[in-house]
Amino acid sequence: MKASIGGYTRAETVSHALSLLAEANGAGRLLAGGQSLIAALNLGTTSGDMLIDIAGIGALRGARIDGNRLIIGALTRHADIASDPLIAEHAPLLAKAAPLVAHDAIRNRGTIGGSLAYADPAAEYPACAIALDATIILEGPNGTRQVAAQDFFLGLFETARADDEILAAIAVPMAADGERHVIREAARRSGDYALAGLAVVRRDGRHRIGAFALGDRPLLCEGAMAALDGGDIDGAVAALATDVDPTSDTQASAAYRRHLAGVLLRRIAIDLGVG
Amino acid sequence: MTDSFQSRIDLEMTINGEAVELTVPAGRHLIDVLRHDLGLTGSHVGCEHGVCGACTILVDDSTVRGCLTLAAQLQGCEVWTIEGLTEKGVIADLQKAFVERNALQCGYCTPGMLASAKALVEAEGVPSRETIREHMSGNYCRCTGYEAIVDAIETVARQRADETGARSRAGETVAKARAGARS
């Protein structure tokens, strides 16, 4: 179908975008790469939006080091996440996740901020953000707000971002020596949304597991994490089955998704040399 | 509607090497501007939500989905479609290989396939068949079964690598001859 929108404008700066959001009086919708939003408009799941195109705000693009954190601007595209040497060194999980996001043509325009703000439960970055214990940086009329990734994702396409705020960046603790990052997913076609996926970080001998496509939001799998810390793979797989909360749809049943999660965890344990 | 938001957008773009000025409805897809407003019907529309790849075209040298891009987003951009790429001859070898290998049947997916394949054969080295399949995974073909498409892309990647190799070998020979002449 064709997109039906209420209007379009371009924001020059973050503060300009915030004033446009206020002007739109609740109908404002931030447009970055558009790779999810325009698909949603085409499918008619949203219409009449006042689009505020933020793609030209240079300050929101690219990665930089700030103390012991890597700050990645919201407008950094998937293709840049996959190729940026700073991200490969300090947040390898994201560099490994980026090639799994859709296809070449979509990675050339889609952004990490867009993916995080859209909060599709089957998307890779939200689960990575949770596994990395990252922080989401929001800009609003009352200044900057930082929200732990774990507290940011509230439900299906629902986040802690207020309607008058912009997701400006994600801050990731820089990977220490010996830290291990692994992401695996199962999809029907390479690049399609995952039927099940796990992003795992091992930091100082402890594991953090973010699950995607296994619930209404990215899930931190604490039962499986504790078992994996103790080197108990079978226990971790058993715990994972209760950590996750998948639903059945036309792509896969809940039982099949749960089974896939266990298979992925066993493969990741082999990747990590656990057990 | 408030003052800042517009329902029609004035744009300047370069399309197939030609400067174009146009005014478009703010919600109009790039692919519809190309096909309906400019008559460039070589690019096709399939699923209209980014899955099938039939509308894949080049914007600022990168592949994009014409159905997931609003024309309004592309002020100042350079767009190339199958018409311009054909005229310029930059994918003539790919097009020839697609014909020779029967890498198309109905042809609906072909303009998108060629745009996606262009980026791959321009990269350094010869990609493995697995890499080709991975790279082309965003383009559906419902006729060929893909094998012939992978064949065609692999053939061109090899040809181009051989030519680059031959050129650099020729360059080395010249450099050696020059070095020899100096010594």
CATH code (residue A44):
3.30.43.10
What the block records as the tokens of A73 is 């601007």
Best mutation site among A100, A103, A107 for testing chain B: the one with the most B CBs within 10 Å? A103
Q: Are B44 and B109 in contact (CB under 8 A)?
A: yes
Q: Is A9 helix (H, G, I), strand (E, B) or coil?
A: strand
Count of CB atoms within 10 A of residue B12's CB?
Answer: 12
Please tell me which of the candidates A35, A42, A50 has its beta carbon nearest to residue B48: A42
Q: What is the DSSP string of A222-272?
A: HHHHHHHHTT-HHHHHHHHHHH------SS--HHHHHHHHHHHHHHHHHHH
What's the pLDDT band for A111 if we cut at 50, 70, 90? very high
Domains defined along chain B, listed by start? 1-90 (3.10.20.30), 91-183 (1.10.150.120)
Mean residue pLDDT of chain A comes to 96
Please report whether residue A224 resides in a domain: yes
Q: Domain boundary at A33, A52, A71, which? A: A52
Q: Assess whether A73 and A158 both reside in one domain.
A: yes
What the block records as the tokens of B165 is 């190799």
Interval A40-47 mean pLDDT: 91
Q: Assess whether A76 and A162 both reside in one domain.
A: yes
Please report whether residue A57 resides in a domain: no
Beta bridge partners of A50: A7, A28
Q: Assess whether A116 and A213 both reside in one domain.
A: no
Q: Pick the more confident residue, A34 or A3.
A: A34
Cβ of A5 within 8 Å of Cβ of B9? The answer is no
Please report whether residue A44 resides in a domain: yes
Q: Assess whether A106 and A34 both reside in one domain.
A: no
Amino acid at A48: G
Cα–Cα dist B109/B47, whole Å: 11
Amino acid at A163: D
Q: Domain boundary at A156, A173, A190, which? A: A173
Q: Domain boundary at A173, A195, A211, which? A: A173
Is the per-residue pLDDT at A66 higher than 70? yes
What's the pLDDT score for residue B183? Answer: 45
Q: Assess whether A160 and A191 both reside in one domain.
A: no
| Of the listed ranges A118-122, A235-239, B123-127, the one predicted with least confidence | B123-127
Q: Assess whether A200 and A141 both reside in one domain.
A: no
Interval A10-39 mean pLDDT: 96
CA A83, chain centre distance (Å): 17
Q: Assess whether A187 and A85 both reside in one domain.
A: no
Is the per-residue pLDDT at A22 higher than 70? yes
pLDDT digits (tens, 9 = 90+) for A182-197: 999 999 988 999 999 9
Please report whether residue A265 resides in a domain: yes
Q: Assess whether A36 and A116 both reside in one domain.
A: no
What's the pLDDT score for residue B149? Answer: 98
Q: How many domains does chain A have?
A: 3
Cα–Cα dist A181/A129, whole Å: 12
Please report whether residue A58 resides in a domain: no
Please report whether residue A221 resides in a domain: yes
Best mutation site among A1, A2, A4, A8 for testing chain B: the one with the most B CBs within 10 Å? A8
Cβ of B69 within 8 Å of Cβ of A38? The answer is yes
Query: Which ranges of chain B have pLDDT less than 70?
Result: 1-2, 173-183
What's the pLDDT band for A9 if we cut at 50, 70, 90? very high
Q: CATH no. for residue A185? A: 3.30.390.50
User: From the CA of B99, how many Å to the nearest CA of chain A?
Assistant: 24
Q: Assess whether A218 and A153 both reside in one domain.
A: no
Interval A211-233 mean pLDDT: 98
Closest CA to A218 of A142, A131, A135, A101: A131
Please report whether residue A41 resides in a domain: yes
Interval A128-140 mean pLDDT: 98
What's the pLDDT score for residue B10? Answer: 97
Is the per-residue pLDDT at A109 higher than 60? yes
pTM for the predicted model, two decimal places: 0.94
Q: Is B154 helix (H, G, I), strand (E, B) or coil?
A: helix
Find the domain containing A161 and state its range. 63-173
Please report whether residue A67 resides in a domain: yes
What's the pLDDT score for residue A94? Answer: 98
Is the per-residue pLDDT at A272 higher than 90? yes
| Residue A109 backbone dihedrals phi, psi, to 5 degrees | -125, -30
